[in-house]
Amino acid sequence: MALDIFLERGFEQATMEEIAIQVGMSKRTVYARYEDKATLFKAAVQRAIERYTVPREALEAVVTDDLEQTLAAIARLRIANVATPVATKLQRILSAQSYRFPELFNAAFEQGAGPTVSFLSDLFVRYSARGEVNVTEPQRAATAFLSLAVGGPARIIVSGNVLDDAEIERHIRFAVGLFLSGIGRR
């Protein structure tokens, strides 16, 4: 509930009184739990990050024997996740408040993308061990893949522009192909 108010009104415009009314508590009770508005904001954002992280089980569910198909499916999952209204608003408020709460901005990437980075790293290690790809730094490769395949569409979506499914798919196919060319056996 508090997050909804922060997302709709922004950090500066949201008030503790408004939040207290919305959650059905007295202002005193809210202050008893949260020292100030910044503490409440951090807690609300942290819960949102946890809620909108793509879980490992969802990633495992899209794995196939074909690395190209698997990477494309993972990119689709991440883009669909970013494109949800709440995730889009969360990204916007994190960007707008990154000067005030840089630790939240960093945590959003580390925790929000962390399971996907870890999953991709493990995937690249397995494919490298079989000699199918050449990835010497799997975590760096995973981060690079997400930047390449998801970063562009995510920035467009968060900025309020619409990408149709066909354009998203073209982008994913191009990014996956380019990435696989880069990690191919040499």
Residue 186, pLDDT score = 61
Cα separation, 42 vs 116, in Å, equals 23
Q: How many domains does the chain have?
A: 2
Residue 89, pLDDT score = 82
Same domain, 96 and 171: yes
Cα 92 to chain centroid distance, Å, stands at 12
110 SS3 class? helix
Residue 112, pLDDT score = 84
Same domain, 145 and 58: yes
- Full-model pTM: 0.85
Residue 33, pLDDT score = 92
Question: pLDDT tens, position by position, for the chain (186 residues)?
Answer: 788 898 888 889 999 999 999 889 988 999 999 999 999 999 988 888 888 888 999 999 999 999 999 999 999 999 999 898 888 888 888 888 888 888 888 888 888 889 999 999 999 999 999 999 999 999 999 999 999 999 999 999 888 888 899 999 999 999 999 999 999 876
Token pair, residue 85, equals: 């209204």
Same domain, 59 and 43: no
Cα separation, 130 vs 99, in Å, equals 44
Same domain, 33 and 62: no
Residue 168, pLDDT score = 96
Same domain, 74 and 35: no
- Domain end (from 47, 62, 84): 47
Under the phi-then-psi rule, with left for phi > 0, alpha for psi from -120 to 50, and beta for the rest, what region is 34? beta
Buried/exposed 120-155: b ≥16 CB within 10 Å, e otherwise: bbebbeebbeeeebebeebeebbbbbbebbbbbbbe
Residue ranges making up the domain that contains 42:
1-47
Token pair, residue 154, equals: 């995510």
Cα separation, 3 vs 78, in Å, equals 22
Same domain, 60 and 100: yes
Residue 94, pLDDT score = 86
